[in-house]
Structure formats: C-alpha cells, structure tokens
Amino acid sequence: MITVRVQTEAFDLAAETRALSDGRTDIGAIASFVGLVRGGEIEAMTLEHYPAMTTKALEAIAGEARRRWPLLGGTVIHRHGRLLPGDPIVLVAIAATHRGDAFDACAFIMDYLKTGAPFWKKEETGGESRWVEAKTEDDTARDRWN
Amino acid sequence: MKISLLYFAWVRERIGLDGETRDLAAATVGEALAALSALGDGYAAAFAEPHRLRFALDQDFVDADAALREGAELAIFPPVTGG
C-alpha cells in the first residue's frame, strides 16, 4: 500500500500525488515531502546505495508507519547516482483520512529514512569530493518517535 | 567460515574493493573486522575507527557482536546519509 521506488530518474510530485488519489474519494489528506540537492558551494552530489538492502529497508520503514497510523496509501521514492543542485533526491507522499496522520507518517518516514536507509552522499566542491558525515540531529529526529 | 563481504562509501574507497568473498576465522562481525584489519593497510585504515562503522548482515542492520554464519552477506559502511 506504500509503494517504494529506488531509481536514478527524476520524479514529479504532482503526478505521484495524483496517482495516490486517482479514482478514490476516501482520502481526505495527502502530506508530502520532497528533498532537494542544496546548492551553495556544492557543485554536484553522488548518492551511493546498497541495492540488495535499500528497498527492503525502505519497505520496513513504510511498514512501521502503517502499523503506527491508519494510512490509505503512500509513495516513497529515493534517487541514486549523480545529482545537481536543485535536483529532487527523495519524495514521501502519504495519504490518510485526516491530515494529522498524513503529516505524522510523512515526517516519521523521513526521520527513519535519514538514519535507516543505506544511502551515502558524496559532495563535489571546487573539483574535490568528500563524503557527507552523518548528523547527530538526524538521530535525535528519529528518536523523538520512540 | 566463508563470508560475502560488501563495502560502501569511504570504506569501499579505503579498501579499494566494493566486495569480496573470504574465509575468515571469525564468529562475530567484530571478529571479522579484526581478521580483515590484519590483511593490509587499506583494511586497517577503513576499520581504524570502529565507532564510525555500521554493519548489515544479510541486509539487516546489526551490531558488532552479531554472530556470523557460513555464507552470510556482511556489509560494512559508514553511518548512512541519504534523504
């Protein structure tokens, strides 16, 4: 019921939310989040992942969200490969009867994804590249759900 | 025992391989790290700071004390930074 996709291609939020609600009248709320590559000093970013584990990890996170909230559908998309500033990286769209559940499940999935899905970012700046360090704030954000 | 090893991000770069199969005298993930560290400078550099490493055994996150089994897939990588 929550579809997970891991892909190199870009995605379209409008198309994804439309697909969730198409032909249905029971959905009262769709909350969505799109993460983008932040520019500034960064010229490009490459996302590496662990193909055999990535979908499994994302599906486990989506499954946990479904256990915690009464959801009517959802889509999680995470890109990998080389991306440029402004490019979308990740999409979470969650459908529910009411907004509270949709907002909470969307935030929960993002907080868990940041610390529990096997992706690694490498940033390119001034011809050099470096691996992004994990942030303790991400652990804190995840732990607020416990 | 025979273990399929996978390395990601800077662990992969320091070792210079994205994966390999090895016969290791190790019963746990932590013992596998110790055995691998003895194989060369790249491994030692990759595993020098154990607190910066994370592990997955057969595609599930585990701690360093997790038990290995014959033919397991052990992935070693830095804390994840997706999203």
pLDDT at B81: 97
Q: Which chain A residues contact residue B10 at CB under 8 A?
A: 131
Tokens of A129: 């590249």
Question: Distance between CA A20 and CA B49 in Å, rounded?
Answer: 44
pLDDT at A29: 98
Could you tell me the fold of the domain covering A2-143? Aldehyde Oxidoreductase; domain 3 (3.90.1170)
Element housing A79 (H / E): strand A71-79
Residue A1 has a CB neighbour count (10 Å cut-off) of 10
Bridge pairing between strands B54-57 and B73-77? antiparallel
CB B35 within 8 A of CB B2: no
Residues 6+ apart with CB under 8 A from A49: A6, A78, A80, A117, A118, A119, A120, B82
Locate the domains of chain A by residue range: 2-143
pLDDT at A113: 98
pLDDT at A38: 94
Euclidean distance between the first and the last CA atom of chain B, given in angstroms as a whole number: 36
Instruction: Say whether B78 and A131 touch across the interface (CB within 8 A).
Output: yes
Query: Per-residue confidence at B28, pLDDT binned at 50, 70, 90?
Result: very high
The parts of chain A modelled with pLDDT lower than 50 are none
Size of interface A-B (CB pairs under 8 A): 71
Q: What sections of A1-146 are H helices per DSSP?
A: 13-21, 51-68, 99-116, 136-143
Instruction: Give the residues across from A4 on adjacent strands.
Output: A76
For chain A, give me the number of helices (H) and strands (E)?
4, 8
Tokens of B27: 């019963």
Locate the domains of chain B by residue range: 2-77
* Nearest one of B35, B20, B31 to B64, comparing CA atoms: B31
pLDDT at A31: 98
What is the ipTM, given to two decimal places?
0.95
Any chain A CB within 8 A of the CB of B38? no
pLDDT at A33: 98
CB A96 within 8 A of CB A70: yes
CB B35 within 8 A of CB B25: yes
φ, ψ for residue A121, nearest 5 deg: -100, 135
Q: What is the mean pLDDT of residues B27-54?
A: 96
What secondary structure letter does DSSP report for B39?
Answer: T
pLDDT at A117: 98
pLDDT at A13: 98
Q: Which CATH number fits domain B2-77: 3.30.70.1230, 1.10.260.40, 3.40.50.10490, 3.10.20.30?
A: 3.10.20.30
Instruction: Say whether B80 and A114 touch across the interface (CB within 8 A).
Output: yes
Q: Which chain B residues contact residue A121 at CB under 8 A?
A: 81-82
Any chain A CB within 8 A of the CB of B35? no
pLDDT at A141: 94
Any chain B CB within 8 A of the CB of A109? no
Residues 6+ apart with CB under 8 A from A63: A2
